[in-house]
């Protein structure tokens, strides 16, 4: 890999694409050149990177020629069409969609957990689901110490997980309600302002949603733990940015809250915020725009053997998407 690679961001004008550009800059990623690609409707937009202004170009087969690393965040259908083309042309694709995550020939990577999996890529590396990534930042260190068997979890997912249009929808609805106007909806099937929707992604025949099953399926692959089980309810909440997850985890070995805090305080990319008597616990409002995830409300689970409850929050545009992708790119250069 070129030490100063030519990097492309595909889907550069979307919520995650913008964060990818910011993250490359903030982490001083040694890109020799940055190319910004998007669909025809975004062509000609100008975005700032370091001291330059870069014009967005149309994503075409030809536009991918000569790119060393491409960060894709333009949705699954675009990834399915263009990622294999880019890989064939010698580019390494880091894909933020769900298109390749469960493909056995594609590594699914959270660098703090399974960075070594980057080594066996065949041109495409998958970025995990945002809720899964945030949860595993706290769960995996505990798994290493106490070996997790199963979890029960509920997610509290920000609207930015759906994209820029959903952020606008929440803003618009809050203004409509405050001003006594009728509420209009385009993105979600119900009003999201002052409401919560137990519906993230599409429903499966089992009654779970696709998003809910990602925690188990992706968790198994990332942690190299094929017996891991996860029963999850994913909920969309009227928060702009940062996902939170309430987790009850059952382990093979006995675990105490103090032993868990000791393990979690040493975990990379994670801060322990756990002083409930001072009302200190992770909050999506305060974890927004932070690289690290936060964990708190650590306590013995009173309904499980060897059980532990905790609450984890993380910026899903960063650790759940852009930051994780750039960290994978950094691994490629090592």
Give the catalytic positions in this structure: 130, 243
Longest alpha-carbon distance in the chain: 59
The β-bridge relationship of strands 307-314 and 293-300 is: antiparallel
Tokens 């062509």 belong to 43
Q: CA 187, CA 71: separation in Å to the nearest integer?
A: 25
> DSSP E strands: which ranges in 113-179?
124-126, 148-157
Answer yes or no: are the C-beta atoms of 310 and 146 closer than 8 Å.
Answer: no
Q: How far apart are CA 272 and CA 269, in angstroms?
A: 10
| Residue 183 Cα to chain centre, angstroms | 30
Closest by CA position to 127, among listed 202, 47, 214, 1:
214
What tokens appear for 218 in the block?
Answer: 């992706």
What does the alpha-carbon distance between residue 312 and residue 138 come to, in Å, rounded to a whole number? 7
């Amino acid at each position: 890999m070129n030490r100063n690679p030519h990097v492309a961001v595909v889907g550069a004008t979307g919520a995650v694409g913008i964060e990818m550009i910011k993250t490359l800059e903030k982490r001083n990623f040694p890109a020799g050149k940055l190319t910004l690609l998007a669909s025809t409707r975004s062509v000609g937009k100008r975005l700032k990177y370091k001291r330059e202004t870069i014009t967005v170009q149309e994503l075409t087969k030809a536009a991918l020629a000569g790119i060393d690393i491409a960060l894709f965040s333009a949705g699954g259908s675009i990834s399915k069409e263009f990622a294999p083309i880019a890989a064939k042309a010698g580019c390494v694709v880091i894909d933020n969609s769900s298109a390749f995550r469960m493909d056995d020939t594609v590594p699914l990577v959270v660098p703090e957990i399974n960075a070594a999996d980057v080594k066996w890529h065949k041109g495409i590396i998958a970025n995990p689901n945002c809720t899964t990534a945030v949860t595993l930042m706290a769960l995996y260190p505990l798994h290493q110490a106490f070996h997790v068997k199963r979890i029960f979890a509920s997610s509290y997912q920000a609207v930015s997980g759906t994209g820029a249009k959903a952020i606008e929808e929440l803003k618009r609805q809050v203004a409509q309600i405050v001003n006594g106007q009728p509420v209009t909806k385009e993105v979600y099937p119900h009003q999201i302002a002052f409401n919560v929707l137990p519906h993230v992604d599409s429903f499966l025949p089992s009654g779970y949603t696709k998003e809910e099953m990602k925690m188990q399926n992706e968790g198994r692959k990332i942690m190299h733990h094929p017996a891991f089980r996860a029963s999850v309810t994913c909920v969309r909440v009227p928060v702009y940015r940062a996902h939170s997850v309430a987790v009850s985890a059952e382990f093979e070995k006995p675990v105490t809250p103090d032993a868990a805090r000791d393990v979690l305080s040493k975990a990379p990319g994670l801060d322990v915020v756990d002083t409930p008597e001072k009302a200190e616990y992770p909050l999506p409002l305060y974890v927004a725009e932070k690289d690290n995830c936060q964990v708190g409300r650590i306590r013995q689970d009173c309904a499980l053997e060897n059980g532990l409850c905790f609450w984890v929050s993380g910026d899903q545009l960063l650790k759940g998407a852009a930051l994780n992708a750039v960290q994978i790119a950094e691994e490629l250069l090592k």
